[in-house]
Structure 1
Amino acid sequence: MSGRRRVRRVGMAVAVTAFGVAAAGAGTAVLGRPHPAAPVAQVSTNTEAVTRGPVAERTRFSGMLGFDGTYQVAHQGEPGIVTAMTEAGTTVARGGVVYAVANHPVRLLYGVVPAYRDLAAGVTNGPDVKQLEENLVALGMDPGKQIVVDEKFTAATAAAIRRWQASWGLPAAQRTGRLPQGSVVFASGLLRIAQVQAPVGAAAAPGQPVLSATSTNRVVTSEIPIVRQSQVHVGDQVQVTVTGLTGPTTGTVVRIGRTATDQQPNQQQQQGGQNGPPTVTITIQVSLPATTADLDQAPVAVLITAASKPNVLQVPVVALLPRTGGGYQVRLPDGTFVEVKPGLFDEVTGKIEVTGNLTVGQLVQVPVS
């Protein structure tokens, strides 16, 4: 953003304040220029000190709070009627039951390779076997440490499965040491049920989606104009304000989309037959209080730093007053005015960079809020 555009924006902001309107006449008198004799509104004022420190100019975008990742869980076992289904919003951990068909539970294990075959003695080596063994060890089903975690299904693997089956309450005759295809589902971690597609009583066939799920990682997604893409980098810290929560929280950019999409036109653009500027999606990871665990698809505001400076003089933006003939000034407690040149404006702190004949600690007048 050019300096000219920035100053014009700040000028519009301060010109409408009661303090700015009231002080305009006083500024003319100090500068010795003629002005009409008119009553000037008396505005209550306070003082704040000039400070020095970092300042950041941030651009505001809208966003949406949600959960990272979307997974479709399809039934891979024998066809049947859904007899149990985890409720939407519930989180399932390793070993937990996700749903059941014909009273046969389907349990969650962690891994990136989907379950695509029976896991039993005699199967060929494969990464799905290694995933299974990692989970059996993590679940405490190999107390004697007999399993060598690799891609080979061994007697120790089968023994660990039997221990796991015993923990389900199965009688000895049903502890087979094998996991038929469709009895487990692999996901990268904790699974949060987002939407149920096959409720209890519905028929489930092989390959049919039964639910959609997400991770438990809280993220904000926001569409930013592609012309702003160069201002954002993975790892950048941004300010996120969630509707209904007090104060902003800090988020970290974890992904930046590579494909631009046309923004839906607003009302004026629709009348003119134009689309909005192309945008890219950025994903921001956030940490929120435990009380917001169920908050999903909530609107948020995202503040992205467009420019920053480390050590500059600053005053509250409401201290700026327009000067007759252009430019800005601040008023000191004794009524005198000091001309200043505004720079970066920090929307979060409400302060603006200034250059002028001011010193740190010096007091300037501001309107009483």
Structure 2
Amino acid sequence: MRWTARLAAAGALVAGGVWFLRADPFAAPVANTTAAHSAARTGVAQVTKGTLSARTLQNGTLGYAGEFQVVNKASGTVTKLPAVGQVINAGKVLYRVDGKPVMLLYGAVPIYRSLSWGTEGVDVRQLNAALVALGYATKDELDPDSDYFGRATHNALRELQDKVGLEESGNLSLGQAVFVAAKTIRVLKVNAVSGAQTAAGTVVLQASSTARQVTVELNAGQQSQVAVGDKVIITLPNGKAVPGVVSDVGKVATTSDSGTTIEVKIRPTRPKQTGSLDKAPVQVSIVTDTAKDVLSVPVNSLLALAGGGYAVEVVDTGGKHRLVGVTTGLFDDSEGKVEVTGDGLAEGQNIVVPAS
């Protein structure tokens, strides 16, 4: 394990002719140890009490969640298009064909037919929900869960059409709107050309949501170490740290030259602090386990005893040194500490560590 190599690298201390090695901390402690004075340069640290977190450090990419293709349903000449990077809200004009606006509406079901009084279906339900969400009808006036196109839908749609500059027909003709599964989109790529002919079924542009997201290609063998809800620290290219949480852990592995990986998605909990960089490299520290209200010591204070077992060297009041056998628990990579338990070990005690 990585901690075996790390601890072994800390080196050996010679004390009274007996070798003490800072090495693998997972064996059981040995009782009845005796104190010895080290000839090596040392310093003093304290036994502390609090919360420790185990972490896995990964490389990630900061960007935006979701990617959508906007499929046009109108035929004619493209007369206006959004710019790459432009942010557009649902209920607004996305582009124009023959000078007529095509609206952006929120919904997961692509529009595939004209909708009018008496129409029923899932597409009508998402239209009703969109009209209520945009404020063109209240829930008392129009049930957002209704899949029926009635008077309330007709009246609310007329108001929306008037707002964006369409004929107030109260019917949603095919080509007047596109539904995208994001309430606000950010234009990534424009496929259409202003002045060119377009037809139904043509991809006009590609977009993402405006929600910030970090993607990590995690080694498939580490899948069990990460779970939805795990807390995360994201280190941005400028060195700033931003908190986040794991929102999705992929279940389908992908094999490439770099190995077999799964995709892990992370949602920054303070998205404004991530700025506006897209496809930016970041470092992600994922909290995989937490131990609360435990005693801990610096990792380099651990002593592997010649006869087996592990200990820390406690400095009592008056300067007397003694070894206390310990059992290790959770390692906190970020703090360089390890959870320990042992008879006679208490918060605030001074312990010996290698001099820095």
Aligned equivalents of 1:162, 1:248: Cα separation in 2 = 44
Aligned equivalents of 1:315, 1:143: Cα separation in 2 = 60
Aligned equivalents of 1:358, 1:31: Cα separation in 2 = 23
Aligned equivalents of 1:6, 1:323: Cα separation in 2 = 17
Q: Which letter does structure 2 place at the counterpart of 1:361?
A: G
Q: Which letter does structure 2 place at the counterpart of 1:129?
A: V
CA RMSD of the aligned region, Å? 3.4
Alignment of 1:303-322 (within 5 A): 303-306=285-288, 308-319=290-301
Distance 1:332 1:125, change over 3 A: same
Match of 1:68 in 2: 65
Q: Which letter does structure 2 place at the counterpart of 1:9?
A: R
Alignment of 1:1-369 (within 5 A): 1=1, 6-12=3-9, 14-15=10-11, 27-28=13-14, 30-32=15-17, 47-81=44-78, 83-121=79-117, 124-142=119-137, 147=142, 150-169=146-165, 174-190=167-183, 191-251=185-245, 253-265=246-258, 276=259, 278-306=260-288, 308-319=290-301, 329-330=312-313, 332=315, 334=319, 336=321, 338=323, 343-355=329-341, 358-364=345-351
Q: Which has the higher strand share?
A: 2
Aligned equivalents of 2:288, 2:7: Cα separation in 1 = 16
Match of 1:269 in 2: none
The alignment partner of 2:241 has SS state of coil
Given that residues 67 and 208 in structure 2 are in contact (C-alpha distance below 8 angstroms), is that contact kept between their aligned partners in structure 1? Answer: yes
Distance 1:168 1:219, change over 3 A: closer
Q: Which shows bigger deviation, 195-204 or 226-235?
A: 195-204
Distance 1:91 1:10, change over 3 A: farther
The alignment partner of 1:227 has SS state of helix
Aligned equivalents of 2:129, 2:231: Cα separation in 1 = 35
Given that residues 90 and 192 in structure 1 are in contact (C-alpha distance below 8 angstroms), is that contact kept between their aligned partners in structure 2? Answer: yes
1:223 CA drift (Å): 2.0
Given that residues 61 and 302 in structure 1 are in contact (C-alpha distance below 8 angstroms), is that contact kept between their aligned partners in structure 2? Answer: yes
1:262 CA drift (Å): 1.6
1:218 CA drift (Å): 2.2
Distance 1:169 1:347, change over 3 A: same
Distance 1:49 1:79, change over 3 A: same
Match of 1:20 in 2: none
Gaps of at least 5 residues in structure 1 are: 16-23, 35-39, 266-275
The alignment partner of 1:219 has SS state of strand
Given that residues 67 and 215 in structure 1 are in contact (C-alpha distance below 8 angstroms), is that contact kept between their aligned partners in structure 2? Answer: yes
Aligned equivalents of 1:295, 1:95: Cα separation in 2 = 26
Q: Which letter does structure 2 place at the counterpart of 1:316?
A: P
Given that residues 79 and 206 in structure 1 are in contact (C-alpha distance below 8 angstroms), is that contact kept between their aligned partners in structure 2? Answer: no
Q: Which shows bigger deviation, 177-186 or 230-239?
A: 230-239
1:73 CA drift (Å): 0.6
TM-score, scaled relative to structure 2: 0.77
TM-score, scaled relative to structure 1: 0.75
1:335 CA drift (Å): 8.5
Given that residues 238 and 250 in structure 1 are in contact (C-alpha distance below 8 angstroms), is that contact kept between their aligned partners in structure 2? Answer: yes
Distance 1:355 1:109, change over 3 A: same
Q: Which letter does structure 2 place at the counterpart of 1:104?
A: K
Deviations 1:306-339 (A, max 9, x none): 5554454312335457878997755749494746
1:114 CA drift (Å): 1.3
Deviations 1:19-70 (A, max 9, x none): xxxxx6xx42x42469xxxxx9978x5x442112343332222222222222
The alignment partner of 1:165 has SS state of helix
Given that residues 62 and 301 in structure 1 are in contact (C-alpha distance below 8 angstroms), is that contact kept between their aligned partners in structure 2? Answer: yes
Aligned equivalents of 1:359, 1:199: Cα separation in 2 = 72
Distance 1:185 1:41, change over 3 A: same
